[in-house]
Amino acid sequence: MRWLCVLIACLLCPTLSAQSPARKQDDRISVRLSFGFDQIVAVERFAPLRLEFTSPVHHVVGEVIVTYAQDGSQTMSTRIPVTLAAGIPTPVDVIVCLPHFGTWIDVRVQDEGGRTRFRRRYTIAEADSRGNPEGFVPPALVQRRVTVLAVGLDDLREPAQQWARSLWAPSSPAAFFAESDQTLEFEQSYRVSVMAPERLFASWAAYDGVAAVVAPASAVSSLPERVRRALINWTLRGGELILIIDDASNAWRTWLPDGPAWDV
C-alpha cells in the first residue's frame, strides 16, 4: 500500500507542477491604461487617466494608488477606493497633471490589509519606452490644447482617423505638435477625438486639456446628471461647448444656466 501511495504521488506531481504556473498567472491583476482622449495629453493641464482593471480570480477591496513625477524632486500621488470583482473589468478614472518632462507613472493596487496586489511602473517618455508591457501605448504629450472632443458623433470617427493619419504620418503626434506653430490652418492644428456619451468623465477637470467639446443637445440631455454637470462646470471655467441643436422639444434649455452668455 505504501508503494502504491508513492507511485500515485509521483504520477500527480508533474500535473500539479504544470498547473501551478497557470494558477499563479490567473491570480494576477491586469490593467489597461488610456490617457486623455486618444492618448493625447496637454502638459501642465488636468487630464483623465482611465484604468481598466481585471482580477481574473480574486475579489479585491482596497485602493488604487497612482504616482508620477512632478519635477526633479517631487512626486504626485492620488488614491482612489476600488472594488475589483473577480473576472469583471473595472474602470477607475484618475485625474492627472503631467509635466513637460513626464517620464514615468506608477500604478499600484493595495488591498484593505495594506498588501500590494498589483504594481507596475510605466515609462511614458517617448524617447525611452523600454520595459513597458506589450500593448501599452504611452501618451503623446503636447504643449497646447489640440483636442476637439466630438460626443456621440460616430459618423466622424473614420474621417477623424483618416485625418490624423494623413497629417501625422510618419511623425508621432507629440513630435508633430512640438514642431508646429500657431499659424497653421485649423485642420493642421487640431485633433478630433470621438467618444461615446457613456464613456464621458464625471469631473470637469477631465476636460481641462480639451480645446472644445462638440455634442448634439439630445446626447447631452441624456447624460447622467453628474456627467452633464461636469461639462457645464468646465464651460463655466472657460471651456467651449458647441451644441448641435437636434432636439425640437428644447429640453436642453432646462439644464443650461441662465444668462445672456447661454442664449442660442
pLDDT single digits (tens) 241-250: 988 888 777 7
Provide the pLDDT confidence category of residue 75 given band limits of 50, 70 and 90.
Answer: very high
Radius of gyration over alpha carbons of the chain, in Å? 23
Instruction: Name the residue range of residue 136's domain.
Output: 30-142
Q: What is the pLDDT of residue 33?
A: 94
Q: What is the pLDDT of residue 163?
A: 58
Q: What is the pLDDT of residues 170-183, one digit of tens each?
A: 345 455 445 444 44
Q: What is the pLDDT of residue 159?
A: 66
25 in a structural domain = no
Which of 75, 44, 230, 52 minimizes the C-alpha distance to 143? 44
13 in a structural domain = no
Looking at the structure, do residues 40 and 78 belong to the same domain, yes or no?
A: yes
Looking at the structure, do residues 127 and 158 belong to the same domain, yes or no?
A: no
pTM for this entry: 0.77
19 in a structural domain = no
Provide the pLDDT confidence category of residue 103 given band limits of 50, 70 and 90.
Answer: confident
Distance CA 8, CA 236 (A): 73
Q: What is the pLDDT of residue 25?
A: 41
Looking at the structure, do residues 137 and 102 belong to the same domain, yes or no?
A: yes
- Residue 87 DSSP code: T
The rounded mean pLDDT for the chain is: 79
22 in a structural domain = no
Which of 146, 240, 249 minimizes the C-alpha distance to 188? 146
Provide the pLDDT confidence category of residue 12 given band limits of 50, 70 and 90.
Answer: very low
Q: What is the pLDDT of residues 112-128, one digit of tens each?
A: 999 999 999 998 876 56
